């Protein structure tokens, strides 16, 4: 579809032995592949580690973005499959954070033969409560709308004021080097639509069809993906394992990388 290859379009980076099993890390909403920087070093000796940015984030090719194409999570799953094909990855271990957990579910359902296992960090198949069925996603529709307003409010601060602050960090040169690539660089237009697509999606029906075993990493006190949601995913996902981390918040890959690595390696070590 896009004229640019997926590797270029999604700013794909590949590290680790070429013949080792592939682990594909997918970042969640709000950031880019640098989110995994404290996690991936633990895998590069034994795995071929593949990371990428969703279109509109990090070093992706923003010109590939059109609101029409990226109007649902299917397009993002398609991008994942493009990467898998272009690098000819097989038996992929897919590690997806937040919304990318569901993107992994969609990709595995579309091409079951390419995936070996899924690791879902803070997954949620639906963020908005559904009172008529008693489903608890954690948010009312009004609250999600409030988020979308928050994004609007930070539009200026985010795109204009934030960048120089992020860049200027003379005290921490090693961070500065990394920052020249810019952290969590987000196109505000993409961010708004991605938020809408993410927080208004409903992928509950996709869970029972997942053809491969999966690990669910659930944080304690995660307002984005509460424990009840993690349990729901575990209940509806065949051959899934639920691990509740001590880590709080929504980003254990950043707040508790050690614990996260431990849980993932323990799972991958199992037969």
Give the strand pairing for 48-52 and 13-15: antiparallel
Task: Using CB under 8 A, pick the residue from 224, 233, 237, 243 that binds other proteins.
Answer: 224
Q: Using alpha carbons, select from 131, 97, 120 the residue that is nearest to residue 251.
A: 97
Told to check if 172 binds other proteins by CB under 8 A, we report yes
Instruction: Please state the closest distance from residue 168 (CB atom) to other proteins, in A.
Output: 10
Q: DSSP secondary-structure letter at 265?
A: H
Q: Assess whether 250 carries a catalytic annotation.
A: yes
Told to check if 143 binds other proteins by CB under 8 A, we report yes
Told to check if 264 binds other proteins by CB under 8 A, we report no
Instruction: Please state the closest distance from residue 144 (CB atom) to other proteins, in A.
Output: 8
Tokens of residue 250, six digits: 């929504």
**Which SS3 state, helix, strand or coil, does residue 126 take?**
strand
Encode 122-153: b = buried (16+ Cβ within 10 Å), e = exposed.
Answer: bbbbbbbbeeeeebebbbeeeebeeeeeebee
Told to check if 30 binds other proteins by CB under 8 A, we report yes
Catalytic entry in 98, 100, 201, 214: 98
Told to check if 177 binds other proteins by CB under 8 A, we report no
Q: Assess whether 98 carries a catalytic annotation.
A: yes
Size of site (CB under 8 A) for other proteins:
46
Told to check if 183 binds other proteins by CB under 8 A, we report yes
Instruction: Please state the closest distance from residue 150 (CB atom) to other proteins, in A.
Output: 4
Tokens of residue 264, six digits: 């993932």
Encode 216-251: b = buried (16+ Cβ within 10 Å), e = exposed.
Answer: bbbbeebebbbeebbebbbeebeebebbebebeebb
Task: Return the beta strands (E) in 18-108 as ranges.
Answer: 22-26, 48-52, 92-97
Instruction: Please state the closest distance from residue 267 (CB atom) to other proteins, in A.
Output: 23
Q: How far apart are CA 207 and CA 51, in angstroms?
A: 24
By CB under 8 A, the residues from 36 to 95 that bind other proteins are: 37
Told to check if 213 binds other proteins by CB under 8 A, we report no
Q: Assess whether 63 carries a catalytic annotation.
A: no
**Which residue ranges make up the site for other proteins (CB under 8 A)?**
28-31, 34-35, 37, 98, 139, 143-158, 161-162, 165-166, 169, 172, 175, 179, 183-184, 199, 221-224, 248-251, 254-255
């Amino acid at each position: 579809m896009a004229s640019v290859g997926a590797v270029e379009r999604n700013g794909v980076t590949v590290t680790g032995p070429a013949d080792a099993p592939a682990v594909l890390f997918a970042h969640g909403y709000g950031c880019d592949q640098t989110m995994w920087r404290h996690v991936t070093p633990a895998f590069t000796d034994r795995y071929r580690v593949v990371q990428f940015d969703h279109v509109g984030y990090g070093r992706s090719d923003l010109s590939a973005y059109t609101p029409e194409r990226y109007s649902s999570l299917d397009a993002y799953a398609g991008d994942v499959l493009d990467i898998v094909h272009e690098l000819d990855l097989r038996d992929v271990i897919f590690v997806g954070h937040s919304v990318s957990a569901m993107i992994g579910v969609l990709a595995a359902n579309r091409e079951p033969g390419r995936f070996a296992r899924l690791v879902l960090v803070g997954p949620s198949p639906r963020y908005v409560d559904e009172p008529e069925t008693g489903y608890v996603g954690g948010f009312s529709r009004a609250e999600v709308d409030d988020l979308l307003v928050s994004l609007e409010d930070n539009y200026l601060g985010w795109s204009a004021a934030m960048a120089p602050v992020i860049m200027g960090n003379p005290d921490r040169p090693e961070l500065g080097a990394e920052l020249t690539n810019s952290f969590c660089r987000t196109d505000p237009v993409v961010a708004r639509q991605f938020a809408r697509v993410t927080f208004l999606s409903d992928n509950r029906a996709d869970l029972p069809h997942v053809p491969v075993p999966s690990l669910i990493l659930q944080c304690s006190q995660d307002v984005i993906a509460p424990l009840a949601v993690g349990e729901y995913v575990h209940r509806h996902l065949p051959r899934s394992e639920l691990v509740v981390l001590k880590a709080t918040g929504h980003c254990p890959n950043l707040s508790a990388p050690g614990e996260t690595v431990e849980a993932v390696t323990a799972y991958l070590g199992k037969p």
